[in-house]
Amino acid sequence: MLTLEKFERASELVKEVTSPTKLVYSEYLSEQTGGRVYLKPENMQHTGAYKIRGAYYKISTLTPEEREKGLVAASAGNHAQGVAFAAQKFGCKATIVMPTVTPLIKVNRTKSYGAEVVLHGDVYDDACAYALDLAEKEGCTFVHPFDDLDIATGQGTIAMEIVQELPTVDYILVPIGGGGLVTGVATLAKMLNPKIQVIGVEPAAAASMTAALENGGPVTLDSANTIADGTAVKRVGDKIFPYVQENLDAVLTVEDDELIGAFLDMVENHKMIVENSGLLTVAALRQLDLKGKKAVSILSGGNMDVITMSSIVQHGLIQRDRIFSVSVLLPDKPGELVRVAQTIADAQGNVIKLDHNQFVSTNRNAAVELRITMEAFGTEHKHEIMKALEDQNFRPREVGAKLY
């Protein structure tokens, strides 16, 4: 059972291993939505995510004998680091099974907390099946990432902190993967103040909680293909589902493209790195009528590798027309390139890449192609640059932008 007494005990206990993540008021998001929007930055935890809360509380409930046997968990990242770190604090052995495609940085960080890492399978489901077999074979205690009421209790301590800091909160937005976080937060929030609206948010391409609520019970999706990899779960937990049914007010879904824009908003306006799963609650804000309301978006984690960050930033700039490419056909004679460059400069565009193709036509004197990738301030500025090129009879044609 999830009880207030357990939540209160967990809230005190997790302070031993968590960093204070005070609410951050977002002037930018408040202006965008008409409400007062606050961020709960769990991406700033030592392990980079909220998962340490559930893992630490879960291990605290085990008997000395259960800890002595060792722990086994399966995860592609955040749960792995949470269990490894918590196990280290309790002085017990932990073995974490991770998919073979897990980024090296996440593998190394998990190892750095003293855990043994076993790479198995291409996806989480493969790793989890192997971990369950391993736990049974070795007689170890399996620590589930979400379908465990003790795990949910630990995760729910976030709600305690939110309500203590902002007692008049109207909405709490929570990312949903397997359902452990939303179970704890929604259940405790309703215990503390039934008027609080708890909104779950999941990727549209991995909407397993939406499917479960429509079905009246957990169902397994055919796929969970989303850039929000931390919430790419095909089936929500069976044990935690009844609590979600009872306490969650609504579930919203977000497309991957919306997460790209949310990443840029966090970097530019708050100087914070938040992983795609943690951005679900930011991207969903515009779906709610928040005028005159106070809302808290839980940023569940910030474990993102640099290559992924680079790709997200590039796609975000292109998505918002701050980088775009045009193709123009020019006669192959001296001075034409300078004329194009000057037209763009006069319109305050900034050229960042040029491709000059002399072989677009068999008659080079008739035309060569020039592809120009440039920076703009946004869609309106892009249109101004395009018009400037048209006024000079360059007949620009917009093409797909690439920075590499």
Known catalytic residue at 26:
no
Contact partners, residue 342, CB within 8 Å, separation at least 6: none
DSSP-derived letter for residue 116 is: E
Report the candidate in 154, 126, 174, 160 with the shortest Cα–Cα distance to residue 55. Answer: 154
**Helices 336-346 and 379-391, packing angle to 10 deg:** 140
293 DSSP 8-state letter: -
75 is catalytic: no
Please give the biggest Cα pair distance in the chain.
84
From the candidates 208, 300, 325, 382, give the one annotated as an active-site residue: 300
d(CA 130, CA 151): 21
Cβ neighbors of 251 (< 8 A, separation 6 or more) are: 176, 199, 200, 201, 202, 207, 209, 210, 213
Opening angle at CA 393, ends 380 and 337, nearest 5:
90
CB 42 within 8 A of CB 21: yes
Catalytic site residue from 51, 190, 294, 382 = 51
Provide the annotated active-site residues: 51, 300
